[in-house]
Amino acid sequence: MQTFYLGVAAFLLLTMVVGLIRIFRGPRQEDRLMAMQLFGTTGVAVLLLLAAAFDASSMRNAALIFAVLAVLAVAAYARGPNRREKEIK
Amino acid sequence: MSLAPIFDILLITALLLVSWRLLGNSDLFQAAVLFISFGLFLSLAWVRLQAPDIALAEAAVGAGLTGALLFATLKIVEPKQGRSKNGAQPKSCRLDRAAECPGRMHYILASIFVLGLAGLLLTAVFSLPDTANGLAGLTSGFLAQSGVEHPVTAVLLNFRLYDTWLELGVLLLALLGVLGTRDRLGPQNVTAAQPPNPVLSWLVRGLAPFMLLATVYLLWLGDHAPGGAFQAGVVLAATLVLLWLAGLGSVVRMPRHAWLFSLVAGFSAMLVLALCTTLAPDAVALAYPQSWAKALILLLESVATISIGVILASLTVLVLAGEGEANGAGAAETDGKNGM
Amino acid sequence: MHILAVLLCLAGAFFFLAGTAGLLRFPDSPSRLHALTKADNLGLGLIVLALVVTSSSLAVALKVILVWLLALAASTSICFLLGQSMLRQDQRQDQ
């Protein structure tokens, strides 16, 4: 079971690496933030899987922090319409 | 178990890829998003290196607070950047387009410095003895006398309390620096430029109790497992910043005395401890009696958590509000008067 | 029990894959947002379910579920904020 969890975690990490392309390409700022948001959720899943594989509860706490703090950066970004329109296709 | 190396190689690939694109990028927004992603990957790397304390701190700082600070700074920098461009071809210098482009000399100097540093690090790594365990043996040997069961907390709050004390001082200095550039004496009555988003307020209303719970949980964990004052303080700060973003009051509504007291509580608690231990007969500064250790560590950690949380939250709120003040000078003036 | 967990895990991984594919392949930002919300919530949910059925104690299971619920609330709101921000920009473009 441990090997299986590790394998799934590695696969999820691979999807994160592939997902980086969306951050590189954009084209909108929101596209990049979406990819970042997907990384956050995938990171939570990877940490939970690693915690189960190695039976380490500290990793589960890191997942908890990821989940709780994910919203802060986007909330700081999306504050009203007071922003320059930039790099729209 | 043969899958662990694959996981590690993927992680290293991700880290290298992200840092390469992060540094070689002329789009500041993309660089900011990449930096936050870098924090996420780095946190996973610390987990794999079996340094859960650092992983927790990196998760809290890298994925949370840094992102908010970067986006806030970006909004202040961006309009100026647009004006200087004037439709001309964007200059190819990186990281700092608002200022004058650094010349080639800067890059050469910087690369000499970085190469020298890399050389020193490499020599340090290669000159490490093969079997040495660092100070881990010494720490675990004295762990029973420290008052806590987790070696990292024992080092940070007992064996090397001095370091933690000065780190709190550094945080205070950082806040003073931001206050100095903001023309006000505190975050009191700083308002978000825009009316709060209803969905965000709804979310924060639901999330804030859990975040406070996580703060207390992390603080309590520090006694016997990875966790402790710094991680708890950062989560507390993130809670306060989110509350402010959602228009639900926060450090900006704290009475001035309470705010000042929370800022200096952590630093001064250790100062008082240092004074007492210095003046006591036959004592070394900051070396407290073993029988008090547990209670003292708990007290210091709680006070430090509050200080770290309030300092970081005030700092972030001031930077976030700086955007509104840079755009509308009138709002800044009225706010400033109320703030006095 | 283990077979169930393996199936749930694989299904979760599939949804993460689908989410990433959608993020990369969909033509415009709102559709990408759509791909994202479905994928990461279902994916994380299924993996959390797999971890719950194999978890060693009730406390661990509850904690994992709590992490999922928090992530669910956060990512839903994040997607709303991003969508709203895109919409506002588009409206100002039209004016």
Closest-CA distance of chain C to residue B240, Å: 16
Q: How many distinct structural domains can be found in chain A?
A: 1
Residues B32 and B78 sit within 8 Å (Cβ to Cβ): no
**Which segment of B130-144, B208-222, B300-314, C46-60 scores lowest on mean pLDDT?**
B130-144
Report which of B2, C65, B66, B163 is spatially closest to residue A69, judged by C-alpha positions: B66
Q: Is residue A69 part of a domain?
A: yes
Does the structure show a pLDDT above 50 at B335?
no
Q: Is residue A56 part of a domain?
A: yes
Residues C45 and A41 sit within 8 Å (Cβ to Cβ): no
Q: Is C67 helix (H, G, I), strand (E, B) or coil?
A: helix
Q: Is C10 helix (H, G, I), strand (E, B) or coil?
A: helix
Closest-CA distance of chain A to residue C4, Å: 12
DSSP A13-81: HHHHHHHHHHHHH-SSHHHHHHHHHHHHHHHHHHHHHHHHHHT-HHHHHHHHHHHHHHHHHHHHH--TT
- In this prediction, residue B123 carries a pLDDT of 93
Is residue B213 within 8 angstroms of chain C, CB to CB? Answer: no
Q: Is B126 helix (H, G, I), strand (E, B) or coil?
A: helix
Question: A-chain residues within 8 Å CB-CB of C62?
Answer: none
Rounded to 10 degrees, what is the CA torsion of B40, A67, C76, C19? 50
Give burial (CB, 10 Å; 0-12/13-18/19+) of A54.
middle
Is residue B73 within 8 angstroms of chain C, CB to CB? Answer: no
Give burial (CB, 10 Å; 0-12/13-18/19+) of B49.
exposed
Chosen from A18, A71, A79 to mutate, greatest number of chain C CBs within 10 A: A71
Query: Which two three-digit tokens encode residue B319?
Result: 């930077």
Asked if B78 and A58 come within 8 Å (Cβ–Cβ), the reply is: no
Contacting chains of C (3 CB pairs or more, <8 Å) are A, B
Residue pointed to by tokens 């990028």? B25
CA neighbours closer than 13 Å in the CB half-sphere of residue B243: 22
Report pTM. Answer: 0.84
Mean residue pLDDT of chain B comes to: 79
Residues A15 and C16 sit within 8 Å (Cβ to Cβ): yes
B54 compared with A84, residue with greater pLDDT: B54
Closest-CA distance of chain A to residue B263, Å: 22
Q: What is the arithmetic mean of pLDDT over C59-88?
A: 87
Minimal-distance CA residue of chain A relative to B247: A79
Is residue B327 within 8 angstroms of chain A, CB to CB? Answer: yes
- In this prediction, residue B88 carries a pLDDT of 41
Contacting chains of A (3 CB pairs or more, <8 Å) are B, C
* Model confidence band, residue B103 (pLDDT cutoffs 50, 70, 90): low
Q: Is B249 left (phi over 0), alpha (psi -120 to 50) or beta?
A: left
Is residue A36 within 8 angstroms of chain C, CB to CB? Answer: no
Q: Is residue A13 part of a domain?
A: yes
* CA B148 – CA B203 distance, rounded (Å): 36
- Kind plus residue range of the DSSP H or E element containing B333: helix B329-339
Domain spans in chain B, listed from the N-terminal domain onward:
1-82, 137-340
* CA A57 – CA B7 distance, rounded (Å): 20
**Which segment of B12-16, B179-183, C63-67 scores lowest on mean pLDDT?**
B179-183
Q: What is the arithmetic mean of pLDDT over B120-127?
A: 90
A29 compared with B89, residue with greater pLDDT: A29
Does the structure show a pLDDT above 60 at A39?
yes
Asked if A74 and C82 come within 8 Å (Cβ–Cβ), the reply is: yes
Q: What is the arithmetic mean of pLDDT over B328-338?
A: 38
* CA B195 – CA B81 distance, rounded (Å): 26
Report which of A14, A23, A12 is spatially closest to residue A46, judged by C-alpha positions: A12
Asked if C9 and A4 come within 8 Å (Cβ–Cβ), the reply is: yes
* Residue range B217-274, pLDDT digits in tens: 888 887 777 778 888 999 999 999 888 888 777 777 888 888 888 888 888 888 888 8
* CA C32 – CA C19 distance, rounded (Å): 9
Closest-CA distance of chain C to residue A59, Å: 11
* CA C39 – CA C32 distance, rounded (Å): 11
Parent domain of A40: 2-77
**Which segment of B153-162, B190-199, B236-245, B263-272 scores lowest on mean pLDDT?**
B190-199
